[in-house]
Amino acid sequence: MLLIALTGLLAYNLLQSISRQRFESVTRERLIKALEAYPGCYLADTRFQRGKSGEIVMAVVRTPYSFDPKKVIVVERQLPPREGQPVELHIRSVLMKETTREGYLHELPEEKTQSPEQAEETPLP
């Protein structure tokens, strides 16, 4: 009886381990695919941890610009659920610039910014 119980416990643990490794592998693949939409970005590292409300995926992304919450939402929606619950994505943006002799690569279009003088003159809504 002890041998049967031990075999059952080991089989359960093996299935859990395989399921977790599969989830982590699929999540990494989807992160890499989602980041293809952002030129100059690549996934440097991923970590997984259990949170109070489910799985937390922490991704380190080397990028020429920071990821804002809207971009995180877009990427997060592409991740597979874990045990029927959506995962929470945390992206750590490690800023970097890729340069050639012609200039920087993968820059965002210039945002329209105001000088301090213009900002003072502009009435608030």
Give the mean pLDDT of 21-44. Answer: 92
Residues 6+ apart with CB under 8 A from 47: 57, 58
pLDDT at 62: 93
Q: In terms of DSSP H, where are the helices of the chain?
A: 2-35, 69-76, 116-121
Q: 39 to each of 16, 33, 74, 103, how far by Cα in Å? A: 36, 12, 15, 15
Identify which of 95, 115, 77 has the alpha carbon closest to the alpha carbon of residue 40: 95
Give the pTM.
0.72
| Annotated domain spans of the chain | 2-99
What confidence tens digit (pLDDT) does each residue in 48-101 have? Answer: 998 887 899 999 999 988 889 999 999 999 999 888 888 999 999 998 888 888
What confidence tens digit (pLDDT) does each residue in 3-24 have? Answer: 999 999 999 999 999 999 999 9
The CATH topology of domain 2-99 is: GMP Synthetase; Chain A, domain 3 (3.30.300)
